[in-house]
Chain A
Amino acid sequence: SSELTQDPAVSVALGQTVRITCQGDSVRMYYPSWYQQRPGQAPVLVIYGENNRPSGIPDRFSGSSSGNTASLTITGAQAEDEADYYCNSREVFGGGTKLTVL
């Protein structure tokens, strides 16, 4: 299958830890990357490869992958982390997860 499945919505209390998952066969073939998209803005890369963060991305963002499931973890979620998050595996995007910080 060339699809990536994400939960449509997830919520987390301010300062708590949240995990966003991404499932699909392409995760087995290509290490996934993760993007944050705030309303009206272009996506921003937050995690790629085996837990690599681009310059400027806080270290509360981390990634992991096992089998056909990839995860993005935010440890100590902040209000500014409220956004849509997309996983990607080469040319396939997940449907996105809307993260709400309570």
Chain B
Amino acid sequence: HLQESGPGLVKPSQTLSLICTVSGASISGGSNYWSWIRQPAGKGLEWIGRMYTSGSTNYNPSLKSRVSISIDTSKNQFSLQLNSVTAADTAVYYCARQKSYYDSSGYTYYFDSWGQGILVTVSS
């Protein structure tokens, strides 16, 4: 089970900070990618980035200069920071667990668990 938390309103040019609390699984166990995905109203899903259990990160190139994902294993949480926000960053933000495996079909990645989502509005 994943649960997002954080401010629902952020002013333009400030930093959006969200936390995802993981329950029912250890955030430092297994081969998981702890991920953030967002969805503007009426639009599709956009992958923001992820952190592997080893601590390595990958970010959407379009957001890379503004985004940071980190993990707090003591609290079983991971977090998202998005700097210099504008109205275009207004969206529902989801945290999710991505798993992967390799077999005869090749590599498979999938998001098997999602938070309920949190609406973040960027406005003054």
In the bound complex, CA of A42 to CA of B111 (Å): 12
Residues from chain A with Cβ under 8 Å of B45 in the complex: 35, 43, 86, 88, 93, 96
Of the four ranges (under 10, 10 to 19, 20 to 34, 35 or more), the interface on chain B belongs to 20 to 34
Residue of A nearest to B107 (CB): A30
Chain B nearest CB from A76 CB (Å) reads 24
Q: Would you give the 0/1 interface string for A88-102, flagging 1 where the beta carbon is closer than 8 Å to chain B?
A: 111111111000000
Chain A nearest CB from B58 CB (Å) reads 7
Residues from chain B with Cβ under 8 Å of A43 in the complex: 45, 94, 111, 114
Interface of B is mostly: strand
Chain B nearest CB from A69 CB (Å) reads 15
- Which B97-118 residues sit within 8 Å CB-CB of chain A? 101, 103, 105-112, 114-117
Q: Which residues of B contact A (CB under 8 A)?
A: 37, 44-47, 50, 58, 60, 94, 101, 103, 105-112, 114-117
